[in-house]
Amino acid sequence: MALLSAAGRAYGLRIRRRRHLWRSFRSRHALRGEIDRSGTIQSGDILCFMTVRNEVLRLPHFLSHHRKLGVDHFLIVDNDSDDGTADYLAAQPDVSLWHTKASYKLSRFGIDWVTWLQMRYGHGHWCLTLDADELLIYPYWETRNLPALTSWLNDQGLAALGTMMLDLYPDGALSQAQIAPGDDPLSVLRWFDPGNYVVQVQERMGNLWIQGGPRARLFFTDEPRRAPTLNKIPLVRWDRRFAYVNSTHSMLPPRMNAVYATDGGEQISGLLLHTKFLPEIISKSAEEKARRQHFANSALYDGYYDTVIADPVLRCPTSERLTGWRRLESLGLMSRGGWI
């Protein structure tokens, strides 16, 4: 009976993966090519995929950070920005750009569009899938680039790097963390929660499920199970048969979710430094509350938006100032695994 149950679950996941891939294939009709520089992509290049809307404030530093890490080409879908994002991206020599006015929510929050681009351009490449408010770091990131990391992952037989998203916030109210386009968000977002994280393994697909941090502490105190999911699998040696299920929190086939050790040891992991809490989040929260594009049941999150709009202070007595990756490792938020 157990074998039949496992076989039935595996069959169901295969059907689900094919359905996601079919959705992504169909979504290509929603995309209009703006600037296609994909012809410059070479074998072995590291690629970055993302969907953006009105991110001109963050993009200069985002691109600079990941170029320094070793990303060779960015493939980006602009979801009808009106703040100059598209013009900025079109001028970047290592960016290919697509435009769409289609629903972000109905595209599985942009994942259908990105998966189509990964099917077409990412096969066989190490691919990063990120949001504009995420900065990837990992052990030794300041001295060892992504080609060094992916080479080591290949040698270890690892096809993906797991991460946790670490929410960063300012010292005072959100409105005080002012930066200009091109500035490093970490110059004002210097604080994080060092603890209060809960980790579970989801039985169905074997993926981690991490919750906690300032959003759980402040916005979902009474209902912590509704707090945002913090685990992600952003770096993958891509195959056109792969599909993300829920943002980049989990993948199919389910073996790709095995980004953690099960033998009592540790597997290498990184962090996505989450720069969401810049002052613009106040006006964006009002817009997102009205657009209802960012949650499956958006009405349940009206309280979250209202709290953000009220310009809160996220720092608390247990907050810790961001320093280097070794401190983050000592807190158990990332791991070198066997990479020395």
| Residue 266 counted as domain residue | yes
Tens of pLDDT, residue by residue over 202-249, are 989 999 999 999 999 998 888 888 899 999 999 999 999 999 998 999
Assess whether pLDDT exceeds 80 at residue 72.
yes
Going by pLDDT thresholds of 50, 70 and 90, the confidence category of residue 3 is: low
Q: 119 in a domain, yes or no?
A: yes
pLDDT over 90 (residue 16): yes
Res 287: pLDDT: 76
Question: What value, to the nearest 5°, has the Cα angle with vertex 79 and ends 74 and 80?
Answer: 120
Instruction: Please give the backbone phi and psi of residue 258, each rounded to the nearest 5 degrees, phi first.
Output: -80, 65
User: CA 260, CA 141: separation in Å to the nearest integer?
Assistant: 19
CA distance readout (Å), 152 to 82, 155, 336: 41, 5, 12
pTM for this model (two decimals): 0.94
In the chain, the number of structural domains is 1
Query: Which DSSP category does 313 fall into?
Result: B
Q: Is residue 134 part of a domain?
A: yes
Q: How many CB atoms within 10 Å of residue 67?
A: 14
Beta bridge partners of 173: 313
**Domain range for residue 47?**
2-330
- For the chain, the C-alpha Rg in angstroms (whole number) is 19
Strand positions, DSSP E, 36-170? 47-52, 73-78, 95-99, 126-129, 134-137, 160-167
Q: Which pLDDT belongs to residue 283? A: 87
Question: What's the chain's average pLDDT?
Answer: 93
Residue 287 placed within a domain: yes
pLDDT (tens digit, 9 = 90+) per residue, 167-194?
Answer: 999 999 999 999 999 899 999 999 999 9
Q: Give the helix/strand (H/E) hosting 305.
A: helix 302-309
* Structure token digits, residue 98: 């697509």
4 pLDDT band, cuts 50/70/90, is low
| C-alpha span between 111 and 92 (Å, rounded) | 23
Domain-embedded: residue 337: no
Helix (H) or strand (E) holding 294: none
Q: What is the pLDDT of residue 302?
A: 76
**Contact call for residues 6 and 226 (beta carbons, < 8 A):** no
Residues 6+ apart with CB under 8 A from 209: 199, 200, 201, 202, 229, 231, 249
Task: Answer whether residue 336 is part of any domain.
Answer: no
Percent of the chain whose pLDDT exceeds 70:
95
Q: Is residue 340 part of a domain?
A: no
Describe the chain by its helix, strand, coil percentages, rounded to 5.
Answer: 35, 20, 45
Range from 32-41, 92-101, 216-225 carrying the lowest mean pLDDT: 216-225
Asked if residue 43 is part of any domain, the answer here is yes
Higher-pLDDT residue of 134, 8: 134
